[in-house]
């Protein structure tokens, strides 16, 4: 091959290699954006979650044997698929024909909403569409509890009961009984999912409910019941 042709071939090969590297870098950045739970926040808009996995995971008896509370979190965001699976496990629709969920509620009231407080913003989980509805911009994690780790955990789930969805429940003690039971059922789903995924998790009653209700902009009929932190465990913990 002539020297000039050889030089042209080398230049073209180098150009192709640079182009290929740029394409790979862009694809990697896109993939990171798509899988990271650094969610986009558009007020009032709903963000579709990827379809939940609904299969696999740790055998149930192994998850029960390993379930425990952890209070040491790394600040890394959860992948979007993990967030999707977590919320579906918490209280997603598992029978689309009836709209019933992974978590039982008295008379199928479905009166417990899950608010999802992340570094990117606060959302409400919408089980019917398996989506996140943007509620409040900014990082409100510190408002979800009195313990310092709440600002580190990737996600703080806040369990909010809505009295407007509980017809006939007038008595405060009766409401508290239903609210606590509903939150407990969702919380155990979350404990078992987190155990299966090797995530750190702790349910929390130690919450300033009034302040958190204000931060979330809750309606008069809504009450904060409890919160639960979920995230990657701190290295070495
Ligand atoms: C209703 C309820 C409220 C809780 N509140 C808190 C809390 O505010 N802060 C906390 O660090 N742990 C809290 N926990 C976690 C318990 O301390 C923990 O479950 C208990 O020590 C047993 O540990 P284990 O979960 O590892 O079995 C709570 C647990 C439950 C069930």
pLDDT score for 24:
44
Atom of ligand 1 nearest to the CA of 191: 25
Mean pLDDT score across all residues of the chain: 89
List the single range of 33-37, 119-123, 180-184, 212-216 with lowest mean pLDDT.
Answer: 33-37
- With a pLDDT cut of 90, the percent of the chain lying above it is 80
Q: Ligand 1, atom 23: nearest CA belongs to which residue?
A: 69
Query: Ligand 1 center to residue 76 CA distance, Å?
Result: 23
pLDDT score for 236:
81
Query: Ligand 1 center to residue 204 CA distance, Å?
Result: 6
Does residue 210 carry a pLDDT above 60?
yes
pLDDT score for 36:
41
- With a pLDDT cut of 70, the percent of the chain lying above it is 84
Question: Quick check: CB of 206 below 6 Å from ligand 1?
Answer: yes
Please report the DSSP string for the chain in residue order. Answer: --HHHHHHHHHHHHHHHHHHHHHHHHHHHHHHHHHBS-----TT-EEEPPPP--S-SS-HHHHHHH------B--PPPBHHHHHHHHHHHH-EEETTTTEESS--GGG---EEEEEEESSEEEEEEGGGTEEEEEEES--GGGG-SSGGGGTSSEEEEEEEEGGGSTT---HHHHHHHHHHHHHHHHHHHHHHHHHHT-EEEEE----HHHHHHHHT--TTEEEEEEEEEEPBPTT-
Does residue 185 carry a pLDDT above 90?
yes
Does residue 205 carry a pLDDT above 60?
yes
List the single range of 41-45, 59-63, 82-86 with lowest mean pLDDT.
Answer: 41-45
Q: Which pLDDT band, with edges at 50, 70 and 90, does 34 fall under?
A: very low
Does residue 219 carry a pLDDT above 80?
yes
Return the CATH number of the domain spanning residue range 46-231: 3.40.109.10
């Amino acid at each position: 091959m002539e020297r000039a042709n050889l030089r042209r071939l080398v230049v073209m090969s180098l150009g192709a290699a640079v182009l290929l590297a740029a394409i790979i870098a862009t694809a990697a950045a896109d993939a990171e954006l798509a899988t990271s739970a650094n969610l986009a926040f558009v007020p009032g808009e709903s963000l579709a979650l990827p379809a939940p996995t609904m299969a696999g995971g740790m055998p149930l008896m192994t998850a029960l044997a390993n379930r425990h509370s952890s209070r040491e979190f790394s600040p890394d965001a959860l992948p979007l698929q993990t967030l999707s699976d977590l919320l579906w496990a918490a209280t997603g629709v598992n029978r689309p024909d009836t709209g019933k969920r992974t978590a039982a509620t008295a008379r199928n009231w479905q009166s417990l909403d899950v608010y999802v407080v992340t570094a990117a913003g606060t959302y409400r989980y919408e089980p019917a569409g398996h989506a996140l509805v943007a509620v409040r911009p900014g990082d409100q994690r510190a408002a979800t509890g009195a313990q310092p780790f709440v600002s580190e955990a990737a996600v703080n789930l806040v369990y909010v009961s809505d009295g407007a969805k509980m017809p006939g429940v007038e008595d405060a003690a009766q409401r508290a009984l239903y609210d606590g039971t509903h939150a407990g059922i969702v919380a155990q789903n979350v404990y078992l999912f987190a155990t299966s995924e090797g995530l750190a998790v702790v349910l929390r009653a130690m919450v300033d409910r009034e302040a958190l209700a204000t931060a979330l902009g809750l309606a008069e009929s809504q009450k904060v019941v409890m919160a639960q932190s979920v995230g990657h465990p701190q290295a070495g913990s």
